Amino acid sequence: MFYRKLVLATTVLTFLLIVLGAYVRLSDAGLGCPDWPGCYGKASVIHAADDIARAEAANPDGPVTVAKAWKEMLHRYLAGSVGLCILAIAWLAWRAPQRARHGPLLATALVGVVVLQGLFGKWTVTMLLKPAIVTGHLIGGMTTLALLVWLCARELYVPSPPRQLPLAACRLGLVLLALQIALGGWVSTNYAALACPDLPLCRGEVWPAMDWHNAFHVVRELGRTAAGDMLSTEALTAIHWAHRLGALIVAAYLLALGVRLAGTGTRALGAWLIAAVLLQFSLGLANVAFSLPLLLAVLHNAGAALLVSLMVVVNFAAGPKARTQSTSGVRHESLAA
């Protein structure tokens, strides 16, 4: 069925888009084209070559180079492709056969999320990488992926396990993961990933000096406090340390949940969750130990997207809709044939 294939393909493209977005951000190419949606008002880097050359000549150490412009524009092209695919999904969802199966509300809500995500992408550039905007852009990307994975699970008929899964525990796990990803985005967008360069302590202390107020003041410029002063080392340390503490809590919870899932008839799903948590936690440690190499930092973002996808599938399988679909999937397949 074309609709099902389109949902699956769009989900994969969205995962790749999140990874590419992380690469663009972490390689400092977010302002490779200082306007939006084009590059110096042009449709491609090739057409904007003269403008880029002038900007690079005027400021050789600035954010604009040909390589960074290509990174940024490739990300925009992929984002545009994902947006068009999501519009097609929504259109198909409103057609009578598809509407009769599941209803179009989720696909329609996905369009609204993508529109907001596009605005965050624009504001990321036009507002010069404000931490709140860039973090919102990351959250929007993960939300888009989560909704698409839910659509995939619904279309592919993820079967319910032989025993009922702990729904409340699964929901709480997803909430905790979402909060931890938001914290991770705040670390990245404030360039606080190496504020604590040692392990397992931070600057040789269990509880180093920290400025919590300025660390989590949302409305401010990059690298500045709300009053316009330079953001202190203590504030960056608070951001980083909060993410570390969150990692310990969330990892422990999700590992326990994975063990519990393995004991309720979903051994494979529980094993995948445990493996993904251990991989993500190891990547976080490695990023600090090796001073944030680009490849490991990008993989850490990919690991977060993988965990989101797994937890959405877990929550879908734990919900009543999965149990209903497992009994009606054969009937739907026969009708589609």
> Measured at the alpha carbon of residue 147, what is the angle toward residues 146 and 152, in degrees to the nearest 5?
95
Catalytic, out of 56, 72, 205, 221? 72
| φ, ψ for residue 76, nearest 5 deg | -65, -40
- Residue 174, CA distances (Å) to 41, 72, 289 in order: 41, 30, 28
Dist CA 298 CA 24 (whole Å): 9
DSSP conformation class of 158: P
72 is catalytic: yes
Dist CA 1 CA 183 (whole Å): 39
Dist CA 322 CA 248 (whole Å): 31
The distance from CA 4 to its chain's CA centroid, rounded to whole angstroms, is 23
Whole-angstrom Cα Rg for the chain: 22
- Residues making up the chain, counted from first to last: 337
Among residues 20, 13, 5, 101, which one has the least CA distance to residue 302? 20
Among residues 266, 275, 278, 276, which one has the least CA distance to residue 308? 276
Catalytic amino acids? 72
